[in-house]
């Protein structure tokens, strides 16, 4: 199983728990959409999954290994919601650096192809400090699509990416979720999730209130938006 989260709790301070007894799993070849209102704990859950914050209860396994192990870290890649990247590197140097971290050889032809496809043709030799916000997000995506980890975790990385590139992203993320690889995609963009997700998980006030497949969601609720509204109303979030 690419990801199993078992009874996980997390609090930044003892007064205010953020995650309560969260359990979820992502099967092979699956894209799971993670949704929930602002402040519901999605980014915290993602950071706990990737061992950037340490669980205070429960266990997490990536590709069968505890998330704190080197093997789990080598099996996963995290695309954060911000666009903080090393500005003193060029796009190509950043991708080369990321390949070095994962001990993977760099295929320049594939790199150049991705830059072309994401409307950044020829910009791989420019410094990241000269990239726009959307270009930085696309650079993060290119790294993930080239490195093809068993688990890719994308936290709101599509914010600010233009519509044409989002369409290409949708194709690429579907191709990524093959050969045993899976993706956790946290987004407020229900349109994208409806186009690509197999499964969906809903987190509200730190509680995982729903996990199921998108086909059943469409059948039982009509669409993701209705599902989200029903759960939000049922727990009384404004």
Ligand X SMILES: Nc1ncnc2c1ncn2[C@@H]1O[C@H](COP(=O)(O)OP(=O)(O)OP(=O)(O)O)[C@@H](O)[C@H]1O
If binding is defined by CB under 6 A, does position 38 make contact with ligand X?
yes
- x-or-dash string of contact with ligand X, 43-82, rule CB under 6 A: xx--------------------------------------
DSSP label of 131: S
CA nearest neighbour of 1 among 63, 58, 56, 48: 63
Tell me how far, at minimum, the Cβ of 159 lies from ligand X, in Å.
Answer: 10
CA nearest neighbour of 182 among 10, 13, 26: 26
Q: Which of 24, 30, 31, 41 binds ligand X (CB under 6 A)?
A: 41
Q: Which is nearer to ligand X, 43 or 140 (CB)?
A: 43
Burial environment of residue 230 by CB neighbours within 10 A (0 to 12, 13 to 18, 19 or more): middle
CA nearest neighbour of 62 among 52, 44, 74: 74
If binding is defined by CB under 6 A, does position 33 make contact with ligand X?
no
Find the part of the chain contacting ligand X (CB under 6 A) among 42-50, 67-75, 102-110, 190-198: 42-50
Name the token pair of 148.
Answer: 């093809």
Rounded Cα gap, residues 198 and 71, in angstroms: 26
CA nearest neighbour of 76 among 48, 55, 115: 48
Tell me how far, at minimum, the Cβ of 108 lies from ligand X, in Å.
Answer: 35
Strand, coil or helix: what is 228?
helix
If binding is defined by CB under 6 A, does position 36 make contact with ligand X?
yes
Rounded Cα gap, residues 178 and 148, in angstroms: 10
Strand, coil or helix: what is 23?
strand
If binding is defined by CB under 6 A, does position 91 make contact with ligand X?
no
Name the token pair of 10.
Answer: 């997390």
Find the part of the chain contacting ligand X (CB under 6 A) among 40-48, 90-98, 189-197, 217-225: 40-48
Tell me how far, at minimum, the Cβ of 12 lies from ligand X, in Å.
Answer: 3
Q: Which is nearer to ligand X, 63 or 156 (CB)?
A: 156
- By CB under 6 A, the count of residues binding ligand X is 10
Q: Which is nearer to ligand X, 111 or 228 (CB)?
A: 228
Q: Which of 7, 12, 28, 116 binds ligand X (CB under 6 A)?
A: 12
Residues that bind ligand X (CB under 6 A): 12, 18, 36, 38-44
């Amino acid at each position: 199983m690419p990801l199993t989260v078992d009874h996980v709790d997390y609090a930044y301070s003892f007064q205010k728990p953020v995650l309560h007894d969260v359990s979820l799993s992502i099967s092979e070849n699956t894209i799971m959409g993670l949704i929930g209102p602002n402040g519901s704990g999605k980014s915290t859950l993602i950071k706990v999954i990737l061992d950037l914050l340490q669980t205070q209860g429960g266990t997490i396994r990536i590709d069968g290994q505890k998330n704190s192990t080197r093997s789990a870290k080598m099996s996963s890649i995290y695309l954060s919601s911000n666009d903080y990247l090393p500005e003193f590197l060029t796009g190509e140097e950043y991708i080369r650096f990321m390949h070095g971290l994962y001990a993977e050889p760099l295929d320049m032809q594939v790199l150049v192809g991705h830059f072309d496809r994401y409307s950044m043709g020829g910009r791989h030799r420019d410094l990241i400090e000269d990239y726009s916000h959307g270009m930085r997000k696309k650079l993060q995506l290119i790294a993930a699509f080239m490195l093809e980890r068993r688990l890719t975790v994308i936290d709101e990385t599509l914010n600010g990416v233009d519509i044409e590139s989002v369409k290409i992203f949708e194709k690429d993320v579907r191709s990524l979720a093959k050969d045993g690889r899976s993706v956790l995609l946290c987004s407020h963009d229900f349109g994208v999730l409806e186009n690509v997700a197999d499964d969906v998980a809903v987190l509200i006030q730190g509680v995982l209130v729903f996990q199921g497949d998108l086909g059943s969601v469409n059948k039982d609720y009509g669409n993701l938006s209705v599902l989200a509204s029903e759960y939000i109303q049922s727990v009384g979030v404004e």
